[in-house]
């Protein structure tokens, strides 16, 4: 969603605000803006589109204030045009906002009746008028902000500065994350620690309902009841260097290539490789007694969970219930006694996943989260964190976070299987050995990237692409289709191969490429039959398999040869070719790979 930043600096802050926004741009990139207090007056620059447009505007019309706020927008209310870009501002106050003010219509009606004139289509503008209304009543800025916050409902992170107050900034958090950064005679506010990484590594994460009064001397934090509270200052591990593209053309390419390394780190966190055992953190529940596992997540993280279901059911012999979080949260699903609920999220901030977590927690489930951001809300509200060690993922299309999520879920399946007696010591050794081979196999797969470049040249002409897979390859087919549509804008669908004849086969003709994810396992022959049904109707087959092409028994447009490996680790390996197909197709099409249209990295609204 949107990214917000604020700086109370010792020198003019516009340059640093833009620098921070650059690191937040992955959260939203419809428009951007900054406002500063200069000689007691508020002034702002905004621009539609990418941050570079704002930079250009600032180079022609610089801002000199030492107190400022900035914003990069993912539009919710109001079109992505300059008029709706943040900061919203009048002569007295400027505001940046991430999230949704749910009662904005009601507030807007009330404020309009009092004579406030609205200039934008945004929900955020109500915050501006509300604070101004309290200032008009004679309240000082901090009090006016406090009163306004009490009236707001919804999910929001806010940053406010005031005319005539060069040493004051208010931040507030209800839902979306907000961090306070502590510098030497300077203070910062940011949607995440990565934004603040070049300025400070000492951060305080606000809790839900907190609001903070910042001056250059420090931060006074209040909880939702208005009580002064202390929140810990922690050393952030976000480093400015980690969010560099290196020699890669896109973050996504870098992140795809980082997978052997980050999967290695993640596995090392859960495996004793020498002993051939899984070493899992205490879940605080007797794994042998868990009655059911409930998994909930969104998008790519949901597909990771779906692979987890196949693994948990097959290897741990435990029933698994899984749903996308936006559905699960409202389904009123009955929850079992002794249930374990797992939430998978790269950002740890996805609103629907968080709401599902709270539902399960209220329903007495043991809560474990597979998250990449350990300081995130989902992590903090879980009983146990099962971290992925993917490092910051900047490309909006998730790649390395996905395979690291798979790595954790694979280890979890072994751990639960062992506790339930479904996985014996020998099988555990075999599965652990297979997992340790993943980084090596991925390195091999990544060496054949030129094949994907050639494939993309033909694939980019397609209007529709189908992805097929069976068993744990089915979620990989879904993930492949999601990746392709996200970044190349080509319509793509993933299907369970066996489902093809129940409808989707009607779409097949010689113009429809069909990507078949088919490791040579116990389901391979079945998938081959489905592939032949496609071939008989002229479909262009792209087979991803460790089987030799002759085993397909039909004409292939492309065969992407995979290394032979244990069937357990296939999802981890086959995830990478579908990422490479999407990436290279998008590159040929010339789309904005890292910041595809309409998407945002962290979805903190429903």
Q: Which residues are catalytic?
A: 2, 601
For the chain, the straight-line distance linking the first and the last C-alpha, in angstroms and rounded, comes to 11
Minimum CB–partner distance for residue 404 and ligand M6R (Å)? 11
The backbone torsions φ and ψ at residue 215, rounded to the nearest 5 degrees and listed phi first, read -130, 170
No. of H helices and E strands in the chain?
A: 19, 27
132 binds ligand M6R (CB under 6 A): no
Based on the shown chain and the rule CB under 6 A, indicate whether residue 174 belongs to the binding site for ligand M6R. no
Shortest approach of ligand M6R to residue 434 CB, angstroms?
25
Instruction: State residue 56 phi and psi, 5-degree precision.
Output: -60, -45
Asked if 397 touches ligand M6R (CB under 6 A), the answer is yes
Task: Give the residue, chosen from 326, 347, 356, 604, that forms a contact with ligand M6R under the rule CB under 6 A.
Answer: 347
Binding window for ligand M6R (CB under 6 A); candidates: 229-237, 492-500, 531-539, 596-604: 596-604
Q: Which is nearer to ligand M6R, 7 or 397 (CB)?
A: 397
DSSP per residue over 528-587, as a string? Answer: HHHHHHHHHTT-EEEEEESS-GGGG-S--SEEEE-----GGGHHHHHHHHHHHHHHHHHH
Question: 206 to each of 160, 213, 271, how far by Cα in Å?
Answer: 16, 12, 34
Measured CA to CA, the distance from residue 375 to residue 347 in angstroms comes to 10
Residue in 549, 326, 571 with CA at minimum distance from that of residue 434: 571
Nearest distance in Å: CB 15, ligand M6R: 30
The answer to the question of residue 603 lying near ligand M6R (CB under 6 A) is yes
Rounded to whole angstroms, the Cα distance separating 484 from 497 reads 18
Among 398, 521, 540, 604, binds ligand M6R (CB under 6 A): 398
Judged by CB under 6 A, the stretch of 129-137, 235-243, 255-263, 390-398 that binds ligand M6R is: 390-398
Structure tokens belonging to residue 534: 């496609």
Residue placing its CB nearer to ligand M6R in the complex, 29 or 134 = 29
Residue placing its CB nearer to ligand M6R in the complex, 540 or 579: 579
CA 437, 439, 440, 442 dihedral sign is: positive
25 binds ligand M6R, rule: CB under 6 A: no
Nearer to ligand M6R, 127 or 193 (CB): 193
User: Whose Cβ is closer to ligand M6R: residue 302's or residue 418's?
Assistant: 302
- Site for ligand M6R contains 465 (CB under 6 A): no
Among 504, 455, 501, which residue's Cα sits nearest to residue 478?
504
Q: In the window 297-316, what residues touch ligand M6R (CB under 6 A)? A: 298-301
In the complex, what is the shortest distance from the CB of residue 576 to ligand M6R, in angstroms, rounded to a whole number?
14
Residue 481: how many CA atoms within 13 Å on its side-chain side? 24
Nearer to ligand M6R, 432 or 481 (CB): 481
322 binds ligand M6R per the rule CB under 6 A: no
Instruction: Report d(CA 44, CA 235) in Å as an integer.
Output: 32
Our finding on whether 169 is near ligand M6R (CB under 6 A) is no
Among 266, 350, 545, 591, binds ligand M6R (CB under 6 A): 350
Residue 91 makes CB contacts below 8 A (sequence gap 6+) with: 41, 42, 163
Q: Alpha-carbon distance 435 to 263, whole Å?
A: 10
Nearest distance in Å: CB 595, ligand M6R: 11
Contact between 259 and ligand M6R by CB under 6 A: the answer reads no
Q: How far apart are CA 141 and CA 146, in angstroms?
A: 9
The residue whose Cβ lies closest to ligand M6R is 299
Burial 167-198 (b: 16+ CB within 10 A, else e): ebbbbbbbbbbbbbbbbeebbbbbbbbbbbbb
Tokens of 465: 């692409």
Q: Which of 204, 345, 382, 388 binds ligand M6R (CB under 6 A)?
A: 345
Which CB sits closer to ligand M6R, 30 or 166?
30
Instruction: Give the contact letters, 281-300, x = binds to ligand M6R (CB under 6 A), - = no.
Output: -----------------xxx
Q: Does position 492 bind ligand M6R by CB under 6 A? A: no
Binding site for ligand M6R (CB under 6 A): 298-301, 345-347, 350, 353, 396-398, 486, 599, 602-603
């Amino acid at each position: 969603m949107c990214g917000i930043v604020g700086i109370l600096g010792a020198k003019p802050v516009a340059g640093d605000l833009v620098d921070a926004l650059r690191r937040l741009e992955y959260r939203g990139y419809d428009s951007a803006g900054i406002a500063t207090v200069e000689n007691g007056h508020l002034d702002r620059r905004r621009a539609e589109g990418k941050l570079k447009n704002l930079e250009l505007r600032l180079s022609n019309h610089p801002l000199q204030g030492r107190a400022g706020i900035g914003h990069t927008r993912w539009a919710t209310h109001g079109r992505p045009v300059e008029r709706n870009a943040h900061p919203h501002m009048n002569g007295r106050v400027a505001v940046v906002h991430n999230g949704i003010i749910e009662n904005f219509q009601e507030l807007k009606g009330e404020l309009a009746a009092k004579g406030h004139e609205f200039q934008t289509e945004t929900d955020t503008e109500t915050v501006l008028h509300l604070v101004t209304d309290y200032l008009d009543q004679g309240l000082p800025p901090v009090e006016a902000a406090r009163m306004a916050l009490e009236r707001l409902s919804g999910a929001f992170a806010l940053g406010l500065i005031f005319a005539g107050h060069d040493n004051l900034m208010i931040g507030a958090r209800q839902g979306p994350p907000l961090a306070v950064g502590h510098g030497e005679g300077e203070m910062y506010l940011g949607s995440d620690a990565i934004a603040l990484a070049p300025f400070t590594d000492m951060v305080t994460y606000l809790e839900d309902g907190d609001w903070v009064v910042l001056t250059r001397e420090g931060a006074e934090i209040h909880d939702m009841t208005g009580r002064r509270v202390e929140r810990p200052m922690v050393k952030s591990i976000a480093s400015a260097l980690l969010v560099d593209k290196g020699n890669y053309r896109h973050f996504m390419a870098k992140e795809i290539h980082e997978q052997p390394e980050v999967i290695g780190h993640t596995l090392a966190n859960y495996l004793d490789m020498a002993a051939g055992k899984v070493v899992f953190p205490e879940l605080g529940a007797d794994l042998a007694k868990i009655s059911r596992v409930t998994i909930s997540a969104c998008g790519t993280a949901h597909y990771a969970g779906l692979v987890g279901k196949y693994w948990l059911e097959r290897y741990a012999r435990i029933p698994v219930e899984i749903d996308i979080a936006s559905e699960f949260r409202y389904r009123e699903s009955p929850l079992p006694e002794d249930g374990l609920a797992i939430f998978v999220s790269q950002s740890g901030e996805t609103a629907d996943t968080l709401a599902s977590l709270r539902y399960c927690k209220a329903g007495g489930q043991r809560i474990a989260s597979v998250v990449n951001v350990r300081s995130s809300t989902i992590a903090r509200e879980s009983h146990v964190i099962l971290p992925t060690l993917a490092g910051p993922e900047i490309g909006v299309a998730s790649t390395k976070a996905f395979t690291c999520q798979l790595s954790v879920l694979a280890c979890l399946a072994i751990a639960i299987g062992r506790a339930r007696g479904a996985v014996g010591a020998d099988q555990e050794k075999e599965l652990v050995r297979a997992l340790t081979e993943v980084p090596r196999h991925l390195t091999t797969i990544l060496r054949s990237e030129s094949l994907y470049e050639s494939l993309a040249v033909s694939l980019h002409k397609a209007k529709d692409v189908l992805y097929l897979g069976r068993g744990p390859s089915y979620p990989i087919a879904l993930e492949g289709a999601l990746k392709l549509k996200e970044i190349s804008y080509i319509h793509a669908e993933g299907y369970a191969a066996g489902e093809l004849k129940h409808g989707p086969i009607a779409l097949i003709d010689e113009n429809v490429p069909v990507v078949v994810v088919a490791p040579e396992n116990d389901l391979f022959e079945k998938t081959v039959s489905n592939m032949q049904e496609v071939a008989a109707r002229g479909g262009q087959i792209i087979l991803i398999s460790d089987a030799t092409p002759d085993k397909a028994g039909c004409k292939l447009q492309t065969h992407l040869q995979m290394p032979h490996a244990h069937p357990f680790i296939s999802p981890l390996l086959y995830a990478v070719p579908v990422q490479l197909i999407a990436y290279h197709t998008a590159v040929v099409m010339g789309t904005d790979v890292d910041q595809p249209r309409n998407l945002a990295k962290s979805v903190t609204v429903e």
